[in-house]
Amino acid sequence: MGFWDKIFGEFIDVIDWLDESNDTMVHRFERYNNEIKYGAKLTVREAQAAVFVNEGEIADVLGPGLYELETGNLPILTTLQHWDHGFNSPFKAEVYFCNLRKFTDLKWGTKNPIILRDKEFGVVRIRAFGTYEMRIEDPALFIRDIVGTDGHFSVDDISNQLRNIIITRFTDIIANANIPVLDLASNYEQLSQYITEKLQSEFSKYGIELTRFLIENISVPQAVEEALDKRTSMGIITDLHQYLEFQTAESMTGENANQTAAMGASMGVGFAMADKLSKNFGERKGYVPEPFEKMYYYARGKEPIGPLNIDQIDDLIKNKKVNADTLFWSSGMENWQKAKNIEEIESLFNLLTPPPLS
């Protein structure tokens, strides 16, 4: 620094800081040889704190306001400097401005899946991500333990460390909470609040307050998602009638969609089939199938006929009301199939054909 820079630096009597960034947490006010004129004006704005450091030791922390730097406003620094009353020479001290506003929309997420033991699905792997907010709670502690002598300290300088703390504690909390995977999605808010309380003690060690912690998503592997989707689909089925309607509609989108289309694969036909099923159930109200007896339906034109057991199907075959190309369907089958492709029914046709004479 040149001679005139030194002279003008010593006579500048206003110390303040305007944050021109969005991520600066601590800024050191630069002065020539750290010399500050006795009686200089210090402006500390809202959401700021000014920390005076003398010979590596934190002396005073001043909150928002306009100060004239004298013995009355700097009691600890005055003691360290051994000032006498009336002393007005420049004194040496470093001034750090701490940004006390909230830093929002900070990201966190699991790099690797968290392995959990679930009562319904056994061992599962989940991933999670979200955001959090934090602010400097104790400027002196933050500078002493984190910033040190760094003249410009930003969110990026500490975000990785905070993220690692979050993931470690989040993993422990989720693993020990014993919350079923199915219930995690319905407990985001309560879980976020609980984790915020658990993490606050960790953040406080750095002089930081965790003001908010949010879970945006907890995801499971694709196989578990498919199982959940299937369970959701089955959850709407309350009786056999609804189940048959569901399976009939599902069969219209399977690999044999062309066969179904030949029978009238449209939504209107689907409703007609459901209506016919309802009528058949009404007509056969008194019929109760044997326990675990497999029942079939066969297609007559565009209408499903049934339910029929294997003996009734045998009678239809003998009376030539159905043949090997007639389409059949039963619970557990994805699509309608020809009778000759269903082993149990196909065997009935073989019994009708006598063996060749030798």
Span 103-224 CATH architecture:
2-Layer Sandwich (3.30)
Residue 98 β-bridge partners: 26, 49
Q: Where are the beta strands (DSSP E) in the chain?
A: 14-15, 24-29, 35-36, 41-44, 48-54, 57-62, 65-68, 91-92, 94-99, 103-109, 114-118, 122-136, 152-154, 208-219, 296-300, 303-308, 327-330, 337-338
Are the beta carbons of 248 and 270 closer than 8 angstroms? yes
Instruction: Give the pLDDT of residue 8.
Output: 42
28: number of Cβ within 10 Å:
20
Every domain of the chain with CATH number 3.30.479.30 lies at 103-224
Instruction: Give the pLDDT of residue 331.
Output: 83
115 conformational bin, left if phi > 0, alpha if psi -120 to 50, beta if neither: beta
Q: Which of 164, 166, 171 is nearest to 133 (CA)?
A: 166
What tokens were used for 337? 């199939």
Q: Which of 35, 42, 79, 80 is nearest to 62 (CA)?
A: 42
pLDDT tens track of the chain, all 358 residues? 454 444 444 444 688 899 888 899 999 988 666 567 777 888 999 999 999 887 778 888 889 998 887 756 665 555 555 544 444 556 677 889 999 999 999 999 988 888 888 877 778 888 899 999 999 999 999 999 899 888 899 999 999 999 999 998 888 888 887 788 777 777 788 889 888 998 999 999 999 999 999 999 888 777 777 776 776 666 655 555 555 666 666 665 555 555 555 444 444 444 455 555 555 544 544 444 444 578 899 999 888 998 999 989 999 999 999 999 999 999 888 889 999 999 888 888 876 555 556 5
Instruction: Give the pLDDT of residue 285.
Output: 45
Instruction: Give the pLDDT of residue 355.
Output: 56
- Global pTM value: 0.56
Instruction: Give the pLDDT of residue 204.
Output: 93
In the block, which residue shows the tokens 């998503």?
A: 217
What's the distance, CA 200 to chain centroid? 20
